[in-house]
Structure 1
């Protein structure tokens, strides 16, 4: 039986089309202040293609501007039904502001539309759904109560009912959380021709401005400083953190209480939201394109700096302190200068020897040997850098000699002062090996990176990026069971661990820091990328606007940032007290000491020790070894010459 015949049997009117169209117009006009003012889209769910003509005629009688009706035929195959639903979903995406008129007369058809609407996202969070039907009131209540699209979305039913003296159109809406015992269905208005409308309550009520004290399900896992969990001595569980404070504030504003559903991992946290068993996941989640295919997000209230942590590199050998005051280019320059400056000194020395020889020949005096050879001149020039005087044999009274010597002594003075000044600092300051501080440096060292199980979404995100660094990073990521396991791997296996900076800093301060605030792990200075975070919500959740409005008020008031900083400071203080107390208990005779009374590291200047000056002793030992080897070689050569009758 087609729609028109069913409708005529119920209303028993000669012209049902006009009255049905008039009722729709009246209800839409009465609800204009409750919905966005936009065009009307008509959907019909039917089992018979003959209903096309009937529904199109009804659409033509509507006064409100509407588009062509879209039919979803139940007798068609699943492929054609999905194609029709996809066209409906595409229509909704192209025009998010929409009022939808659904025409259907059987329970089966209404249930089918609900399944298609959820699967293909035909209805948006702001869509206003008006259903024209004719069902017994008890059956209508059951459908509205059990089906998500009618119970939770912004939906109102216009039910064609026989009043005995004529036909009336009654509107109903369902509110999931009512303060008094009921099935949630309320009669909102009554229309009887001609244009006599009685409105009892809003046709499209705001269902989620007040949850009326209902208890809803949410999901979350410990992720400090956003959400933390602690168990007291009595077995009670206590929660804290910025997101915990925010869900409490939102629950108070919207008048609901919540129950945290038990979950084992992060996949289950969002799975409960995706299944609509949980109202939301009240814990920060990175907003990634791949995740949007499974669920929506709330207002983005935080940009989490996504970074990485690694083990601090080992100290460089302390003997390098003798080399570190100058960089490589300056050492090369000094060596080249020492080689170059020998030649002017030797030239002046050779010129004096030549002059002396000529004078001796003229006066027929004995000739003198050149008093300063290249070796002596080289050692003498180098000695000035160590504070030695110029030998008498190299001193000349000529202007050129004095000018050369004065220039070199001034240069040697500046070089020695600069070296000694820097040497004092480098003997005291530890030198670490170079460590990665940015994404490009991390990729360059080729270290393996770890992430918790939710990192699978980031792997896809990195590999699909156009950045070569992100692509290489995606290939290096290995998933681990927990953040603690990833940090342990970074500490002992030399890997890098990737997570939001705040969470890593807090976890390092809590579990990988000694009582003096020192840790063997460091968090890189540069972030990998700014990570927008929000709370996961089911697709097209009708309460998203109410959640977002309260979130924005909290963030703009600065409360969320304050909750973060307060929790971080509290955890760090508790960690230091706990570690200090553990040390006091382990120390003999110190069991009664207060954690705050333990001695802190001394801040007085540190005296030089053998470790600081190990380079000096290494250099001395090498010099003594070289001298011993030279002595042995010279002794052997001397004995060989004596045996062969050579004289020195």
Structure 2
């Protein structure tokens, strides 16, 4: 109880004893400034220790009451649950001015008891002293208009308390605003509050509002019966100033509950959690030709190369140890490559059991690898693979050069710098407070190249806003989103609307916001807003590119284009180019070889057999290089084929010569050999009887 001792109530206050739960504070005349703040602070401590505390102030000095109103507002003495009873003796005009000029007396739960005297009572003062006390309440939003001082009743020692019809001692002031205009400030913040200009029938521009917080404010205004008087604010810093200075009664926009903000204004009950994430420029996707490699990881490709080398080495060892009954290194590699691509397998020189075991093992290996590669290749051609990108806070700190945040982000910078975590302290050091959120997103979307490096920007904000902003302004149907958000949250904080400190109407707002949360209205409004933004973004993209696609949810089959087929086309072009270079090299080398004088050498049958075919025991074959004649006698067909593979049968070496095969037992082999040799060579067959 804050009391100033004055003449008319000296006898009353002087005889008051403090029972249990009651504190009596006395401020003497002339000492208001020195101990007023300390007295109000002590009163607040006493009031916060109990529910439904009542503070009684008795004074007939308007200056003292005005000083008490300012100090109690600054010290946050009163909430709506803490009632204030003013006992004074003022003229009617002074009483109305006192109640209307101070926030505490006009807005809070205050009842003023004013000592009054009637004229006939003054005449009878000598005979009998009688007093009457009037009960007054200031209604900021009453049924007869804003800021009305209403008389609620009277009290006399004889009649006791007499209330006016429909009045109560401490009246409820904010169950209805009776259609009054309530000052509210807000800034566009997607998807909570959005503004769009539309043309009316008269040609003027009309502002259309949408968003989750707008729909919530609209419902609150309809329930509490008030209209919105929107006060413009340049940025969120000015919003904080307007709310802190009580120039506006509410900012119906989601705000994070931070300790630094709680020192400046109050919050409604939290109705959601803000998951703050970072947004960065989406890395350039891998080029289309890389889709030929991306279906398998680097480890798998290395394993395939090692397996191919081991299989080829096994075939090479068999050839070296077992001779020409086993495939050579070149022939073995060719067969391995063909089967790996799913082509046919040549059975020549694969008749040995060891060779078949190696090939069977390789066929099983190539079947599994080939199926896995082809299935992943199909997905890689259609779905663009993304390179590695930062997804967590730790990776963000290592990857970016600066994190931009709007001017209100100074709270977050101090919050992160005071964190015990080294990672969050690093985030605080990278935070740059200054640009607006739109400018910050533009900086993050652009790739700033320095002479020897790339300067990377990032933005930190809540996920709902970033998802909507990216879908609306930083996405295209052709290239996808320009920005992306990290999978992990930087932090998660509760959030609500902001109101001035000690706002008495906070109870009504909390009650309605609780109903919205329990009935899932915020989730519904958010889904509807995001769907509207998605449809509008698709419609705008359709108009920009002039396509005939609809804005529906369904999509047709996606066909492969030349963009997806760049990989195989590059391989084909590279192969044709290498083949052309090889062909030119062969032409040059062929002409140079034809111009050189040839040295003709002769091999005897014994020398040739010992050199190439050590298993032939008879002397039934003779080779004459001068006339390109091969004479066979009782030589197996396989031996003849081997010899045929080793002869210089190109058109430059035997163009002017004749090749004759003379064989006793193989007349049918001639047709096969003739069809495989250049047609310009004169080939004949002589059968010896």
Residues 222-269 of structure 1, C-alpha deviation per residue, up to 9 Å, x if partnerless? 223322222333033333333223222222222222211122111222
1:606 aligns with one of 560, 579, 595: 560
- Please identify, of 120-129 and 169-178, the stretch whose mean Cα deviation from structure 2 is larger: 169-178
| Corresponding residue for residue 273 of structure 1 | 243
| Corresponding residue for residue 162 of structure 2 | 198
| Corresponding residue for residue 101 of structure 2 | 146
| Corresponding residue for residue 179 of structure 1 | 143
1:292 aligns with 2:262: yes
2:211 aligns with one of 231, 236, 241: 241
Give the C-alpha shift of residue 465 in structure 1. Answer: 3.1
Distance 2:138 2:551 in 1: 64
Distance 1:345 1:517 in 2: 49
Q: Greater share of strand residues, 1 or 2?
A: 2
RMSD across aligned positions (CA)? 4.2
Greater CA radius of gyration, 1 or 2?
2
Question: Against the structure 1 CA distance between its residues 247 and 189, is the aligned structure 2 distance closer, same or farther, given a 3 Å change threshold?
Answer: same
| Corresponding residue for residue 412 of structure 1 | 366
Distance 1:128 1:436 in 2: 55
| Corresponding residue for residue 228 of structure 1 | 194
| Corresponding residue for residue 189 of structure 1 | 153
| Corresponding residue for residue 527 of structure 2 | 565
Distance 1:633 1:370 in 2: 36
Question: Against the structure 1 CA distance between its residues 334 and 182, is the aligned structure 2 distance closer, same or farther, given a 3 Å change threshold?
Answer: closer
Residues 299-349 of structure 1, C-alpha deviation per residue, up to 9 Å, x if partnerless? 222334433333322121333233223212222222333343455445544
The within-5 A match list for 1:41-120 is 54=14, 57-60=15-18, 65-71=20-26, 75=30, 81-95=36-50, 97-120=52-75
Question: Against the structure 1 CA distance between its residues 196 and 515, is the aligned structure 2 distance closer, same or farther, given a 3 Å change threshold?
Answer: same
Give the C-alpha shift of residue 154 in structure 1. Answer: 0.6
Distance 2:545 2:355 in 1: 70
2:406 aligns with one of 452, 468, 471: 452
1:126 aligns with 2:88: no
1:511 aligns with 2:466: no
Query: 5+ residue gaps in structure 2?
Result: 448-455, 599-689
Residues 364-409 of structure 1, C-alpha deviation per residue, up to 9 Å, x if partnerless? xxxxx9976767666665565354646755642x5x5543443233
Distance 1:270 1:4 in 2: 40
| SS of alignment partner, residue 232 of structure 1 | strand
| Corresponding residue for residue 489 of structure 1 | 443
CA contact (8 A) 1:102 1:132 kept: yes
Question: Against the structure 1 CA distance between its residues 171 and 552, is the aligned structure 2 distance closer, same or farther, given a 3 Å change threshold?
Answer: same
Distance 2:27 2:74 in 1: 14
Q: Number of aligned pairs?
A: 575
1:311 aligns with one of 281, 284, 290: 281
Question: Against the structure 1 CA distance between its residues 82 and 371, is the aligned structure 2 distance closer, same or farther, given a 3 Å change threshold?
Answer: same
Residues 495-533 of structure 1, C-alpha deviation per residue, up to 9 Å, x if partnerless? 222223333333333333447794333344444334432
CA contact (8 A) 1:320 1:615 kept: no
CA contact (8 A) 2:276 2:491 kept: yes
- Please identify, of 336-345 and 446-455, the stretch whose mean Cα deviation from structure 2 is larger: 336-345
Give the C-alpha shift of residue 607 in structure 1. Answer: 4.5
Give the C-alpha shift of residue 101 in structure 1. Answer: 1.9
Distance 2:310 2:542 in 1: 61
Distance 2:405 2:486 in 1: 16
Distance 1:100 1:288 in 2: 30
| SS of alignment partner, residue 7 of structure 1 | coil
Q: Which runs of 4+ in 1 moved over 6 A?
A: 369-376, 594-598, 625-635
Give the C-alpha shift of residue 181 in structure 1. Answer: 6.4
| Corresponding residue for residue 7 of structure 2 | 6
| Corresponding residue for residue 495 of structure 2 | 533
CA contact (8 A) 1:350 1:370 kept: no
1:214 aligns with 2:180: yes
Flag the structure with more relative contact order, 1 or 2, with Cα contacts below 8 A and sequence separation at least 6.
Answer: 1
Query: 5+ residue gaps in structure 1?
Result: 10-15, 21-53, 354-368, 588-593, 644-648
What TM-score, normalized by structure 1, do the two folds share? 0.76
Q: Greater share of helix residues, 1 or 2?
A: 1
Distance 2:55 2:250 in 1: 26
